[in-house]
Amino acid sequence: MPVTPYLETRPTLGKDCYLHQSAQVIGDVVLGDESSVWCNTVIRGDVNHVHIGHHSNIQDLTMCHVSHKTPAKPEGSPLVIGNYVTIGHSVILHGCQIGNEVLVGMGSIVMDDVIIEDQVMIGAGSLVPPGKRLESGHLYIGRPVKAVRTLTDDERQFLRYSAEHYVRVKNNHLKTEAANSAE
């Protein structure tokens, strides 16, 4: 598995996680049950910690990192991702906090000290500048990101559906890998 320690810390994987062989998970990283990390993704918890909740997915080519602790900022900026979160392809997440049932669209950048509340959808290619707070129940798009409207009931339901869909996909990959290793 693509898991690498850093100093005294080693990634901790929950039950039934999936890490694609091309992914890199380094250092102080906790990955919750049923979560998945896809092709060529890097999650680097070297100078602070990364915590990813259960049933979340980090899709292909995503970069996850943190900011270190300093005298002016004793906690630094860890990366905390909630439960049932979908992080789209080629996203950059850096030292931010993401709530539950959130979708971050492909190619988006979320910077240090951003707080994304539960049930938020961020459109593809968006930039969330440092320290911004995204309120629950809204669709955000743009560079810099702006709230454009309230999520519909269907969109709110889709947030959980998206994460559950990736659980099914990762389970298929785990079955395929198990079958191939049994041969």
Q: CA-CA distance, 104 to 125, in Å (whole number)?
A: 9
Q: Above 90 in pLDDT, residue 109?
A: yes
DSSP class of 135: P
Please report the domains of the chain, with CATH numbers, ordered by start residue.
3-182 (2.160.10.10)
Indicate whether 57 pLDDT > 70: yes
| pLDDT of amino acid 2 | 87
pLDDT score recorded for residue 183 = 78
Residues 120/147, Cβ–Cβ less than 8 Å:
no
pLDDT tens for each residue of 30-46? 999 999 999 999 999 99
Quickly list H helices, 25-80. none
Indicate the pTM of the whole model: 0.96
CA angle 92, 97, 15 (to 5 degrees): 85
